[in-house]
Amino acid sequence: MRQSSLIDIISPVMVGPSSSHTAGAVRLGLLAKNVYDEPIEKITFKLYNSYAQTGKGHGTDKGLLAGVLGLAVDDIRIKDIFNSDIAQSIDYQFEYYNDFNRHPNAVDFIFEGQNKMQISGDSIGAGEIAIRKINEFSVKFTGKYNTLLLVYKDVTGMISKVSTIIQAENVNIASLHCDRSGKGETASMCICLDGELQKEAIDKIKEIDHLNMVRYVRKLGN
Amino acid sequence: MNINTFEELETVCSKTNKKIYEIAQENEAQKNDISVQEVRQVVKISLEAMKEAISAGLHSCEKSYSGMSGGDCKKLQEKFATKSSLLGVIFEKITTYALATSEENARMGKIVACPTAGSCGIVPSVLVSVAEEIQADEEEQINALITAGEIGRIISNKVQLAGAVAGCQAECGVASAMAAGALAQLRGENIDNILSAVALAMKNLLGLTCDPVCGLVEVPCIKRNPFLGIHAVTAYELASAGIKSLIPLDEIIDALEQTGQLMSPSLKESSQAGLAKTKTGIKMEKNFYSRV
Ligand code: SF4
């Protein structure tokens, strides 16, 4: 049986009007930005289905942009974000789609800067979110756990090398999700952790051969 | 200690001779690996934000982005200023505080989702109004809010508190049940009466659908909040007289779950039926989408 938390029931403090369409959008933006983790020059938001249809009335577009700019769900600047100074620093645009293969509240973030990255996520209800895809790889994390994301050349022993370093830190792995574009090609690993990884451990992981990308994404505050 | 049902909660409370909030805050502290004081601190932040939302809402008549809401709270306050409520000050406070909070939500103000944004006015309106009138101190208010949270938590073990999953019975319905429990706690009722208040409030809202016009959290959501705040008081009054629900609370939650499953998806936040698809609802939708 699911064991929810009593604090979750009487929170979060958030800017309205909708936990899935406003707070969820902010959290998706925050998490996506933390995954990209580079200066953003341009960002395109693709909103799907209910996000596309009722997003305007719910401030979904404002929430997504605010999140990408690092604002928390209770930041009153969200309401007027398009006119705020911090929004002038980046180039952003919104596109709207209907696609029945996607979640009702789905969004793609296309980040452009030194690198280009596409991140897809869903707002799955009550402000809860899930990141589903990074570029061509499927992932699954929710911002509730500290998460380690790796993209690497598909070689044997990668999981054990990484998990050995995590184990040495005495941190428990809550979930592990792998994907790859083909045998021996590029692969991805998404590890949700119960605890906190120290910088030294992350540096050690970065030294492993065949890695293309390492991101340590901290869990979201609220 | 895992508590998944109200029966378990009752057993633990009577065995340990503790109140619902005591058990709840201990368990929450343990689960999150923090102290009871830290749990109460987090709850206090929610409580304060609830009061800020009420005060912001009472002083604003700004419309929402859609233009469908904003201004009713002011109207109600003006009415009560010239002609007081038949039911007294607490009625006036609950209805205006609930409208204040919900209108504030619709205009992208800061609120506390409790349990959701659409139902954000119900628990605060009851808790804050009564606390003001009986001069309950902050600790007592926190106790009541923790009680509300524990009630919502146990229900959410079975039913996801989302209109899209189980209709508005699972949002505003559950909020009203939480408010009834919080009020009973605030009034010093015993656990039997607290849970009776929850049961009576919940039972009476089974079947409540979610059919918001334009898919926005405004019609019927906003005005539903003051109604269900008062509804919680009715449940509390009956329960404190010793009136019991003949169907036990856990079974009411089973019925809530089943009703949610049987409810047509067209009435679960998809705006495909009900109020959203009335002649006027459709007209409002057309107007709104031609504008955005
Ligand atoms: S009608 Fe639907 S959107 Fe409105 S408060 Fe109820 S559950 Fe939420």
- In chain A, the domains with their CATH numbers are 12-135 (3.30.1330.90), 146-217 (3.30.70.260)
Instruction: Please give the distance, rounded to the nearest whole angstrom, from the Cα atom of residue A207 to the centre of ligand 1.
Output: 51
Q: Name the residue in chain B with its Cα closest to that of A59.
A: B108
Handedness of CA A116, A75, B163, A11 (dihedral sign): positive
Q: What length is written for chain B? A: 292
Instruction: Tell me if B204 is assigned to some domain.
Output: yes
For residue B1, tell me if it sits in a domain.
no
Atom 2 of ligand 1: nearest residue by CA position: B210
Contacts (Cβ under 8 Å, ≥6 apart) of B158: B253, B254, B256, B257
Residue B45 lies in a domain: yes
Chain A residues whose CB is inside 8 A of the B266 CB are: none
* Rounded-to-integer distance, Cα A209 and Cα A216, Å: 18
Dihedral, A79, A84, A89, A94 alpha carbons, nearest 10: 40
Which of A4, A10, A73, A124 is the mutation pick for testing B, counting most B CBs within 10 A?
A: A10
Residues sharing a CB contact under 8 Å with residue A164, sequence separation 6 or more, in sequence order:
none
What digits encode the pLDDT tens for the residues A9-38?
999 999 999 999 999 999 999 999 999 999
Element (H, E) at B123: helix B122-134
Under a CB-based contact definition with an 8 Å cutoff, are residues B48 and B67 in contact? no
Q: B139 vs chain A: nearest CA distance in angstroms?
A: 16
Task: Assign residue B28 the CATH number of its domain.
Answer: 1.10.4100
CA distance B241 to chain A (A): 28
The band of B291, judged by pLDDT with boundaries at 50, 70 and 90, is confident
Span A81-105, pLDDT tens digits: 999 999 998 999 999 999 999 998 9
B103, part of any domain: yes
pLDDT on residue A3:
56
Q: Quick check: B150 pLDDT over 70?
A: yes
Q: What is the number of structural domains in chain B?
A: 1
Structural contact between residues A214 and A205, judged by C-beta atoms closer than 8 angstroms: yes
| pLDDT at residue A222 in the model | 66
Q: How far apart are CA A100 and CA A80, in angstroms?
A: 31
Q: How far apart are CA A29 and CA A40, in angstroms?
A: 13
Q: Model-level pTM?
A: 0.92
Say which DSSP state A193 is in: E
pLDDT of residue A124: 87
Dist. CA A128–CA A25, nearest whole Å: 10
How far apart CA A111 and CA A186 sit, in angstroms, is 20
Check CB contact under 8 Å for B164 and A54: no
pLDDT at A1: 39
Mean pLDDT to the nearest integer, A169-198: 92
Q: pLDDT (tens digit, 9 = 90+) per residue, B10-44?
A: 999 999 999 999 999 999 999 988 999 999 999 99
Q: What is the ipTM for the molecules in this complex? A: 0.95
Tens digits of per-residue pLDDT, B52-98? 999 999 999 999 999 999 999 999 999 999 999 999 999 999 999 99
* Token pair in block for residue B177: 């049940």
Q: Enter the tokens of residue B18.
A: 């503790």
Residues framing ligand 1 (Cβ under 6 A): B 116, 118-119, 163, 168, 171-172, 210, 212, 217, 220-221, 269
Concatenated DSSP letters for A141-165?
A: E-SSSEEEEEEEE--TTHHHHHHHH
CB contact under 8 A, A17 and B288: no
Residue B26 lies in a domain: yes
What digits encode the pLDDT tens for the residues B219-235? 999 999 999 999 999 99
CA distance B214 to B275: 10
How far, in Å, CA of B70 to CA of B72, rounded?
A: 6
Check pLDDT > 80 for residue A166.
Answer: yes
Give the residue among A56, B118, B19, A83 at the shortest CA–CA distance from B27: B19
Mean pLDDT of chain B: 97
Point out the ligand 1 atom lying closest to the alpha carbon of residue B119.
Answer: 5
Contact: B214, A57; criterion CB under 8 Å: yes
Print the domain residue range for B239. 6-289
